[in-house]
Structures are given as structure tokens and as C-alpha cells.
Amino acid sequence: MGKTVLVAGASRGIGLEFAVQYAADGWNVIAGCRNPEQARSWLPPSVDLQALDVTDSDSIDALLWHLNDKPLDLLIINAGVSGPDALGFVAPEVQAFDQVMHTNVLGPMSLVQAFGSAVAVEQGVIAVLSSRVGSVELADAANMLTYRCSKAALNMVVKTAACEFGPKGAIVVALHPGWVRTDMGGPNAHLGVTEAVEDLREVIGGLSAGSNGCFFDYTGRSVPW
């Protein structure tokens, strides 16, 4: 039958590359994208392309219905937005705050609630794309305030999901992908998307029960919370 992965946010960048690489390895790939018709040309025909807006509970419910309790070996929660940037400490407008928090925090919460049991039943992995800038311990600048706060909150989603679904058999982790050349990372980033995802897949492939509730970077090193 092969293994099954659901990638939430697979139209571009890191999420698209996860879908492409797992499909090339023979996995059954379900790719959740806001605009599936746009993503079709980038993804192999074997990929089950489904509409998914992580900020829309009806959209998550529709995907849940489509999957019909299908067990998942891997759930990759990748969808994310960076929101407004500023060099110093600048509070965001409400609309910008809501968009970042709904995408980066409420979306992952809803996805874990919807699909966590399908992963646990398969003793699978929930891999959540966080960022080292969400680390409270490593915080060293006031830029990207909203994004930083969203990833710090996302890290708590990971820890609490690990408490809920770890004892049921899942491994839940936060991953920092490095600084990657995508629309979000920009052209000056250190890592190409292909190598970043190859590294992340190696980290995911090496996880064990003891990894539940941990935060790793793309080299497999622990990141402090």
C-alpha cells in the first residue's frame, strides 16, 4: 500500500517540495492547497490534490470528510505566513495580527485536532514547520514581532499536541527548516529548497518515540524552546 503523507500548504516553497520528494519516493501524497488548480502543474499526477485553507474550518472539515478516517503515517503542517515586518518593536494592525495568528496558530491547532487520531493510529509523525525565531530562549532582536509571537505560540501547540497524541502513539515535533530560498525566505537565504527538504526528511525519518514534543532544526540538532 505504501505510506501516506498529508502536506498542509503544498502549493509553493517547502510544502511543495515535501510533496514532490515524498511522491518521488513512492509515498501516497495528499497535498492541501488553497488553490489546487494552480498547484496542479507543479505536482506529479499521482498526488491527491485537495483544496485546503487552514484558516477556514469548513475547508478542514471537507478534507476530513474526503479522507474518511484514512490512517496517516505523516502529517506535515507547513502552511505559514510571515506578516508585517519592521526593524523594531512595532505592534501590528488587528487585521494583520489576525491573519498571521489564524494561519500560523489556529490553523495548526485545527489540523492537529482533525487529523491527530489518524496519525496516532498509524504510530505516525506530526511535523510542524516552526522557526528558530519563535524560540523565546534565542530571541535576540525585536523585528518580525508578529511572526515571532505566532511561532512561539505554535511551539506551545506542538508541546500540547505531544501531550495529547504522544501517549496514543504519535510523535509530534516542531521543525526549524533553516533559512530557505522561498518566497518567504527570499533570494539571500542560505539553503536551497531541495536540500532543506532533503535534510528535514532525514530528520523526520530518524525520529523515535523519545522525540515526541521536541524541537529540531534541519540538521537534527535540538532548538531551545
Ligand X SMILES: NC(=O)c1ccc[n+]([C@@H]2O[C@H](COP(=O)([O-])OP(=O)(O)OC[C@H]3O[C@@H](n4cnc5c(N)ncnc54)[C@H](OP(=O)(O)O)[C@@H]3O)[C@@H](O)[C@H]2O)c1
Residues that bind ligand X (CB under 6 A): 9, 11-15, 34-35, 52-55, 78-81, 103, 129, 131, 176-177, 179-180, 182-185, 189
* CA 177/CA 168 separation, integer angstroms: 27
Is the Cβ of residue 119 or residue 128 nearer to ligand X in the bound state?
128
* CA 206/CA 173 separation, integer angstroms: 12
CB of 50 to ligand X, least distance (A): 11
Is the Cβ of residue 122 or residue 203 nearer to ligand X in the bound state?
203
CB of 157 to ligand X, least distance (A): 12
Map residue 202 onto helix, strand or coil. Answer: helix
Q: Which residue has the cell 511561532?
A: 151
* CA 59/CA 150 separation, integer angstroms: 22
Is the Cβ of residue 55 or residue 122 nearer to ligand X in the bound state?
55
CB of 133 to ligand X, least distance (A): 7
What grid cell was written down for 45?
Answer: 499526477
Is the Cβ of residue 116 or residue 177 nearer to ligand X in the bound state?
177
Q: What is the dihedral of CA 144, 176, 94, 56, to 10 degrees?
A: 160
CB of 169 to ligand X, least distance (A): 25
